[in-house]
Amino acid sequence: MTQEPQATDDHAFQTGARRVWFPWVWPLLLAGICTAAWFAWEDRGKVNSLVHASIILLTLGWIVWLFLRSGFSVFKRWSITLVLLVLVAGYYLQWLPIETINNGDVGVVGWRWRWSRPDQQLSLPETQAAAALDWQTSSLDYPKFLGNGYWAEAHGVALDQDWETNRPKELWRRRIGAGWSSFAVVGNYAVTQEQRDEQELVTCTDIHTGEIVWTHADNVRFDPSGGGSLGGIGPRATPTIHDGKIYVHGATGILNCLDAATGDLVWSHDTLQDFKVNNLLWGKSTSPLVVGDGVIVSVGDSHANIKPESEGLGNSLVAYDRHNGDVVWTAGDRRSSYATPVSATIAGVPLIVVVNEEFVTAHDADNGKILWEHPWPGISDANASNSQPVPIGQNRLFLSKGYGGGAELLEIGQDDGKWEIDHVWKRPVMKTKMCNVAIRDGFVYGLDEVNLQCIELATGDSMWKKRRRPSFGHGQILLVGTHLLILTEEGEVVLAAVDSEKYRELGSFQALEGVTWNNPTLVGSRLLVRNAEWAACFELPLLTEGPLAVDLPRSHGEHGDR
């Protein structure tokens, strides 16, 4: 009789212990796994994905414990469960009044009230009525995405690397609408895209003053929910300036041709509506490609309703007459990615090469006919492809991709009219998630996830890889002679030597605050940078004097042929 209370007490203690230990041990176990992954995994995207998965597992574990082991009343179990589900679902489905600001690895770097987004606080830019702008060309022009070639490179400029003695100078800074478009520059004027509240804008800026001289607006807003919200709102693609016209591709698929002198609309197409195509999770991001009399954009997906006039050729790529906007040809049934098509002559044949979802596709430049394809894994709503294909010499093509993809060098040729594609090498290097590479003297420079890397082009061998603090993040690079300008994901500008033997950092300064995924633009001594909230222009020190774009006449008469 005297032992029964003791047995009851032991049972109560064990039951209580089982009730208490799980709510604390479970999160500690998940936290330990995430901490171990942080040190073991180089890919921060995978680590942050594990963290988000752990949050969901933590919630599910607590809910199971509430109902099976907690001993709480039915009312208390359901009340706590409801609160947990509302908080977690509200965060991931954007039901909460608070939204997080994420970097390219899905890491949380800030937060704001959902109703206080910066772009919604901006009114339309005020511009003064004036005569048509005089767009005078320069040898230093940077007229499209990545400038004038297959990678971002500024020509005709020799930078002074002594930033201790000759510090870069800020010339102007202003607020800008949301979006990840970069600046395209001809002469004295820079054009970009931005989102201000319910209007997607094309804005033309005087690079001397930072003043907006004209705008064009479309009443659309790309503001995705769910996983798409991690990429932010607004337009992504960089305008293309060609022969007195500006071609722009908005995030919702609107393709506009504008008069460069006035911003007046020449012609327009809603490409997704025209071809009954669904948008991508993170919006249309590819810049227009001008080839001859055509302007080419990546439009379609594999579920598109093919129009009869396409003759069954599909609409992965659509070529428009750049003068009047008429459809010239459509081709391909692959779903598009986020990489801009490129024009190149490979094995003696003029081609348009585009990275699509799951494949790299080569089209005949004259009629769009598909000549060859090569598997290149990547789902546009998951492990997306963003980096452009890079033609090398007369018959090679360099590819790179993030999300653990790596890089590959292809050799392409013809034998009796049949295309042959051979692997030169394929390696887990140069995993470019949100940026493109630059190539000089047989070496490739780029961001392998968040670390700057140099590889040998001929072999794919890694020469070095630099992990930096503060991190490069998913920034962008620009080749300038024997130097690299890196605009980091945190808005820092870093000057590094082009050196295949080791990483040599020469200087840095903080240019912008906030997540920065936009490509920088350098015209002469003027570096233009922007992100989703700010735009700025800096004067970089040069070693030599030359015909800089900033020294061109600033007349405002009628523009001539460019």
* Confidence at residue 544, expressed as pLDDT on a 0 to 100 scale: 66
Predicted confidence (pLDDT) at residue 36 exceeds the cutoff of 50: yes
Positive/negative CA dihedral, 456, 459, 463, 467: positive
35, exposed or middle or buried, with CB in 10 Å at 0-12, 13-18, 19+?
exposed
Predicted confidence (pLDDT) at residue 306 exceeds the cutoff of 60: no
Per DSSP, what are the bridge partners of residue 485? 478, 495
As a whole number of angstroms, the distance between CA 287 and CA 112 comes to 30
Predicted confidence (pLDDT) at residue 257 exceeds the cutoff of 50: yes
As a whole number of angstroms, the distance between CA 146 and CA 385 comes to 17
As a whole number of angstroms, the distance between CA 454 and CA 460 comes to 9
The whole-number average pLDDT for the span 388-413 is 97
The whole-number average pLDDT for the span 373-382 is 95
Predicted confidence (pLDDT) at residue 547 exceeds the cutoff of 50: no
Predicted confidence (pLDDT) at residue 554 exceeds the cutoff of 50: no
* Confidence at residue 18, expressed as pLDDT on a 0 to 100 scale: 53
pLDDT tens digits, 144-184:
999 999 999 999 999 999 999 999 999 999 999 999 999 99
The whole-number average pLDDT for the span 254-266 is 97
Higher pLDDT residue, 100 or 261?
Answer: 261
Which residue carries 């890089």 as its tokens? Answer: 407
Rounded to two decimals, what is the model's pTM?
Answer: 0.88
**Residue ranges of domains in the chain:** 4-96, 118-547
Predicted confidence (pLDDT) at residue 127 exceeds the cutoff of 90: no
* Confidence at residue 58, expressed as pLDDT on a 0 to 100 scale: 86
Banded pLDDT at 427 (limits 50, 70, 90): very high
CATH of range 118-547; options 1.10.3720.10, 2.130.10.10, 3.40.640.10, 3.50.50.60: 2.130.10.10
Predicted confidence (pLDDT) at residue 486 exceeds the cutoff of 70: yes
Which H or E run includes 46? helix 44-68
